[in-house]
Structure 1
């Protein structure tokens, strides 16, 4: 069963090689790896060329951002199972094999996701992503609890509900999870599959305030009420955001 993995990248030379190696060093042999670079100027292309003989396809050209890059990669994906791994995140050894084994043995499941740990710029574990089982109904109320880095889903479902909506800057993955969960069960498999890197240039830290308004757009599109749990969560998060982001910065700025 072929697995297609897409890495969108733009000026992440400090972390890109670790991302690439975490994919290429998986113990699952049937991986189609695609890297879509947005015309980086920091040496990223040299890193990609170092591994180009092991890539199914790569390109470095101007695009309309991360979402456009992911869509471009998935348009070329031939795998029955697909995923994307951003250029500052990493897989754990065995992640792809375990995801394939799960989806093979549970044909009714459309997407499986594992546990994610937070790491800093030095690859040190600094916390745990709050992974937990969710569902279409829970997702609509903002109960996400699934790390994109550890999500693997079926290509036939992607073809049914994709592509990613380029009007989303931050919550394009949440929007996709909602659409996928509407069509098939999604399952949390509590195995450590990926690492989510927090650093000064990461979107999660630099533009976190754009996430919840985009999630509310999805909620309203799905017929959600203005008087709902997700709106309450939005206001709580908005009030708590300065503290949350301060704590995140302290985590990745921590001295070794």
Structure 2
């Protein structure tokens, strides 16, 4: 399947080359890779030009921010599967092959994210990986995956660089990122996707997020939280008390798999969909727990 990957960039020369090389190295044989540069003045164009013959497209012009750049890139893209990797973040080796296999084998899956949350340090080294416990539609839309939305504990956020979807879902959900969200348009897009399809958590690592001092999500977290909370409010979610939130999150994190059917019957836990690799069958299998 053809996979479209967009990389937006503005004056991130120090990180851009590693990002582009990781995407190109993951090429599964039908990669549609587009880089959208917002008119950088730091030499980013040199990194893009050096790899131009392997790109499907490159744009360099002023834009109205990250999400406007992404909308431009996706408008040019042609892949059946879509996703983006910000300058600084990376794709894992073989990640696009895994994505291709899963979407090809399971037509009922409309979007996926990795269970393996990976982090790079500022130098681009893989320094940390965590496992999350699944993301159900109910748990997301109740705000359990947005730290700070409620007073209690929270679950892992959807890692954007590890999330890919079918173009058909993108079109059903409106075909674009909402530019009224300056920082949290990714979170708002996930909320829209959840109106149409479940999110399947896969067992393979897909992308890695680079932590560095100047990233928008760190510098402007309170504004991001405000916008993401606005998106949840739009879909009817309200913050819960600390006890209710912590109890629900605790069940998701610690309840043994054998007890989960009972918890579901008692309406204490909403099952999350998983796509895991079966070593005996050498294939991707689906489950809910």
| Interval containing the TM-score (normalised by the shorter chain) | 0.7 to 0.9
Offset, 1:128: 2.9
Q: Structure 2: how far apart are the matches of 1:216 and 1:191?
A: 29
Aligned residue in 2 for 1:149? 161
Q: Structure 1 residues 58, 219: closer, same or farther in 2, change over 3 A?
A: same
TM-score w.r.t. the length of structure 1 is 0.85
List per-residue Cα deviations over 1:120-150 (Å, max 9, x = no partner).
Answer: 1212233235633112211112233321001
SS in 1 for 2:180: coil
Aligned to 1:243: none
Q: Which residue of 1 aligns with 2:226?
A: 213
Task: Answer yes or no: is the 8 Å Cα contact 2:142–2:238 preserved in 1.
Answer: no
Alignment of 1:1-256 (within 5 A): 1-114=1-114, 115-128=116-129, 131-144=132-145, 145-161=157-173, 162-225=175-238
Change in CA separation of 1:105 and 1:143 when aligned onto 2, cut-off 3 Å: farther
Q: Distance in 2 between matches of 1:57 and 1:15?
A: 19
Partner Cα distance (1:168, 1:131) in 2: 26
- Across the aligned residues of Structure 1 and Structure 2, the Cα RMSD in angstroms comes to 1.9
**DSSP-derived class of the 2:206 partner:** strand
C-alpha distance in 1 between matches for 2:212 and 2:131:
18
Gaps of 5+ in 2: 146-156, 247-289
SS in 2 for 1:183: coil
Query: What's the TM-score once normalised by structure 2's chain length?
Result: 0.76
SS at match of 1:113: strand
Q: What displacement does 1:27 show? A: 4.4
Helix, strand or coil: the match of 1:169?
A: coil
Spell out, residue by residue over 1:18-51, the C-alpha distance to the aligned partner (whole angstroms, 9 max, x if none): 0000011114010000000000000001110111
Q: Distance in 2 between matches of 1:228 and 1:179?
A: 25
Q: 1:186: Cα distance to partner?
A: 1.1
Q: Supply the distance in 2 between the matched residues of 1:190 and 1:226 (Cα, whole angstroms).
A: 30
Superposition misfits of 4+ residues, deviation over 6 angstroms: none
CA shift at 1:216, angstroms? 1.2
Structure with the greater alpha carbon radius of gyration: 2
- Gap change, CA 1:219 and 1:101, over 3 Å in 2: same
| Contact 1:121–1:198 (8 Å) recurs in 2 | yes
| Distance (Å, rounded) in 2 between the aligned partners of 1:209 and 1:127 | 24
Where do 5+ consecutive residues of structure 1 fail to align?
234-256
Considering fraction of residues, name the structure with more helix: 1
Residue matched to 2:273: none
Q: Indicate the SS of the match to 2:194.
A: helix
